Structure formats: C-alpha cells, structure tokens
C-alpha cells in the first residue's frame, strides 16, 4: 500500500511517499480501507519530533480516517467488512489502509461523506472529553474559543450551539473572524489588532466566559484567567511556539474559584477512549445527520502524494476548518 513516512524526524523532518505492507489487525482491531484522512496538529508535531506515537503504534502519521471496514480481528463482533466507518487512531492514518482499536471506531454519520467524516474523530474525541466531560460546558454558558477557524476551534463553536451554549472566538484576521460568525459564534475578535480580554468582558456584560478553550499557552493562560467568570474553567490543550512556560497570578485563580484543566489524548488506552466513544454515540452522533448546527467544514482536499505541500499550507495557518488527504 501507499503510505507516508517521516524522513529525518525533527526540525528538518520531511514527509515522503513510500510502499508499506498492508497492516494486519490484531484480535481487537479493525482494518480500514482509507478513503480520507484528516490533517491535524499532532501530525505536524510528530514530523518535528515533538509528538511521538505511543509504544507499539504505527510510525506512519495520521490520527483520523474514514472509509470502509476491510477486515476485523477475531474478537471483533461490532463491525464487519464493508461497514462505512470513521476512527481515531494512535497513528497510521496517512495510508491506503489503517488499523484502529475497535473501541475507537464509529459509523460514518448518515448523510456525511467519507471526506466529511474524516474531519470528525480527533476533534470530536478531544472536545467531548474536555469541554463536556471534564469542563462540564452547560446550556446557557459562554465558551471562549482560541483559534476559532482551526478544525478544533470550528467544531467547538458548533458543538457549543448544539448543546445550548454560546461561543465567542479569537482568530488571526478579520476574514477569519467573519468565518467564525458564519458558523455560529456570537462574537469574534482579531487577536492581532485587539486584546481579547476586554472584548470578552464587554460581550458578557463584565461577567466573563464560563469555559475557555486554549490551544495557545504562554501569556494566553493568564489573559484567559482574566477573562473567565467566577467558577470558570480554563481548558488547556496545546502550547504554540518554542516557549512552553506560562506565568500566572494565582490570586486571579483563587479570587475566581477557577479551574485549569489540561489533558492529552493520543497516549490514552483504547479502554479510556472507548468511554469517550460511548459519550459521542449517545450525545453527539444523533445530532450529526441534520448537519446543523454541526456541519462539516472542509477547507480543502488533496492527494496523499502532496502531503509535504499540504503541511506547508497547514503550518501557514491560512486554512479555515479541516484539510483532508485522500489516497
């Protein structure tokens, strides 16, 4: 099969197309014939040597795919060959075939294509676990999303609407702010030209956001704490740039009875991810066939052979929504 390898992993790491054997599913695994693969931040970090795959996982990048079941392991009764599925992977998605633990496989939502479904797994798992299970985002609350036009940010805006919350977003241009408003944000601020803290306080009549989704880190941590309300929750999922440190004023956290939540997903066990899968199936998947307010936001679709150029585009941050690769 065709697959993407990383050559010279690290700052000079590059992708190349190679030939690999088709993987064989283990007893509890599903082999998927890949029709589309989502591009996400961990893929770029893996190329840089900053986000290695878990022990025993494929070294091929790619954490989310959609396609059809090709075969199943001996202990898999939930799936059969030909089922249209999407899945969260520990690695291996940039290929014509990929293996997924059975706990991390979901049916492609009715009315969604494989390309559209490939935009879901990584972000849906991440957001359900962190915004809803851990931060307990509730109906009527305000969510502040940093990076509202990223794949993660755009889905967060739509999920907030679907569960009766309201979203405010930050983005890096006026055009991206307009895109956030089109997908349902009640407000959006260009972080390059304005400070998001007074903007959020003004939009919430001085109250602040109930939950903040942070994928930036650094000085955004303290500024986000300045923008949360009493009993507010700051969900920290990633730090951009080489500086991984953040300095915060603990008195802000104490005064607001605030909570900082941090987590990572890739290295969790299939059993842990299976809990998230059940939550998605019960709460999110029934909302997807309507494609409103949760709709696929595909920036562009590219052949797998163009992966190096695609990642240059991804690194530029110019995309709105998800970039998808097709074998």
pLDDT, tens only, 46-105? 999 888 899 999 999 999 999 999 999 999 999 999 999 999 999 999 999 999 999 999
Give pTM, 2 decimals.
0.96
- Identify the band that residue 300 occupies on the pLDDT scale cut at 50, 70 and 90: very high
Phi and psi for 176 in degrees, rounded to 5? -70, -35
Count Cβ neighbours within 10 Å for each residue of 121-135 and write b for 16 or more, e otherwise.
Answer: bbbbbbbbbbbbebb
Fold classification of 124-262 is Rossmann fold (3.40.50)
Q: Which two tokens stand for residue 309?
A: 């150029």
Task: Give CATH 3.90.180.10 domain extents, the chain.
Answer: 2-119+266-326
**Which pLDDT value is given to residue 9?**
79
**Which pLDDT value is given to residue 165?**
98
- Identify the band that residue 13 occupies on the pLDDT scale cut at 50, 70 and 90: confident
Task: Give CATH 3.40.50.720 domain extents, the chain.
Answer: 124-262
**Hey, how many other C-beta atoms are within 10 angstroms of the C-beta on 112?**
21
**Which pLDDT value is given to residue 244?**
78
Fold classification of 2-119+266-326 is Quinone Oxidoreductase; Chain A, domain 1 (3.90.180)
**Which pLDDT value is given to residue 137?**
98
Cα 224 from Cα 245, distance rounded (Å) = 15
Of the candidates 76, 111, 91, the one whose C-alpha atom is nearest the C-alpha of residue 37 is: 91
Burial of 234 by CB count in 10 Å (0-12 exposed, 13-18 middle, 19+ buried)? buried
């Amino acid at each position: 099969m065709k697959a993407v390898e990383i050559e010279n992993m690290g700052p000079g790491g590059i992708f190349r197309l190679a030939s690999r054997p088709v993987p064989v599913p283990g007893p509890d695994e599903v082999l998927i014939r890949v029709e589309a693969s989502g591009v996400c931040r961990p893929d770029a970090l893996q190329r840089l040597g900053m986000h290695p795959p878990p022990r025993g996982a494929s070294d091929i990048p790619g954490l989310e795919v959609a396609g059809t079941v090709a075969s199943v392991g001996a202990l898999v009764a939930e799936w059969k060959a030909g089922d249209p599925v999407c899945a969260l992977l520990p690695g291996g998605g940039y290929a014509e075939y990929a293996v997924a633990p059975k706990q991390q496989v979901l049916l492609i939502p009715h009315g969604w294509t494989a390309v559209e479904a490939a935009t879901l797994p990584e972000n849906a798992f991440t957001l359900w676990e962190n915004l809803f299970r851990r931060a307990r985002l509730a109906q009527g609350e305000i969510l502040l999303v940093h990076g509202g036009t990223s794949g993660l940010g755009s889905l967060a805006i739509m999920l907030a609407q679907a569960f009766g919350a309201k979203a405010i977003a930050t983005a890096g241009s006026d055009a991206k702010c307009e895109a956030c408003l089109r997908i349902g944000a009640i407000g959006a601020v260009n972080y390059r030209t304005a400070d998001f803290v007074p903007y959020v306080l003004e939009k919430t009549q001085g109250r602040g956001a109930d939950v903040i989704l942070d994928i930036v880190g650094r000085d955004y941590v303290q500024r986000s704490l300045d923008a949360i309300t009493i009993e507010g929750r700051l969900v920290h999922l990633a730090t951009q740039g080489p500086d991984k440190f953040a300095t915060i004023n603990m008195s802000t956290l104490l005064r607001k009875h605030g909570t900082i939540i941090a987590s990572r997903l890739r290295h969790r066990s299939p059993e842990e991810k299976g809990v998230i899968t059940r939550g998605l199936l019960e709460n999110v998947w029934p909302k997807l066939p309507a494609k409103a307010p949760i709709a696929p936001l595909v920036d562009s679709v590219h052949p797998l052979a163009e992966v190096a150029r695609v990642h240059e585009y991804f690194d530029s941050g110019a995309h709105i929504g998800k970039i998808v690769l097709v074998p």
